[in-house]
Copies of this chain bind each other. A is one copy, B any other.
């Protein structure tokens, strides 16, 4: 084995710490979370925390990094089928599902709130999240434009507009905690509404 049992257990412990850190940072933010609280919830001691992370800042950075890599991993896969409208609705629905995940909302909240103090983490999140997502969407739309299914236009601009139409009236309210998580039916309805508007603007 390339990873001995010893190191395996160490990785597990590290993950357990990050799990607790996730809960704490998401609930209270960076400044209002203490290492003591994390240690207590972990059922361990602060000494152990500092054995795995050299400082609170480093633990916070590790928490953001892990959340970002999970975002990136989750964004993969999705081959839409059917007619044009049906495929776009699938894409919008996928976008909604992805960006409204409680974990995605939570990390966005933390990164925005703490962005002034941790700009490099904000950039990391941006690359893994919004940038990757819109980039993928842009490629898909460019493909549709080249095949004549959509009017020719700037694919990245269209991708941004597609994303913002899909999230219109939901995402920011969810970010502020002003609405509950939309039901599957509501998501589909919103995806269809967004696509209808988008198609009116981008039909050939």
A117/B29 contact (C-beta < 8 A), A122-B177, A200-B201 known: yes
The A interface is mostly helix, strand or loop, or mixed, namely helix
- Expressed in whole angstroms, the Cα–Cα distance for A20 and B164 within the complex equals 35
Does residue A79 face the partner (Cβ distance < 8 Å to B)? no
The smallest beta-carbon distance between A187 and chain B, in angstroms, is 16
- Quote the shortest CB–CB distance from A31 to chain B (angstroms): 2
Is the CB of A193 closer than 8 A to any CB of chain B?
yes
| A157 to B170 CA separation, bound complex (whole angstroms) | 11
Which residues between 108 and 143 of chain A lie within 8 Å of chain B, taking CB atoms?
A: 109-117, 119, 122-123, 125-126, 130
A residues lining the B interface (CB < 8 Å): 26-33, 109-117, 119, 122-123, 125-126, 130, 157, 160-161, 163-165, 167-169, 172-173, 175-178, 193, 197-198, 200-202
5 contacts between A and B (CB under 8 A): A26-B116, A28-B31, A115-B176, A122-B177, A164-B169
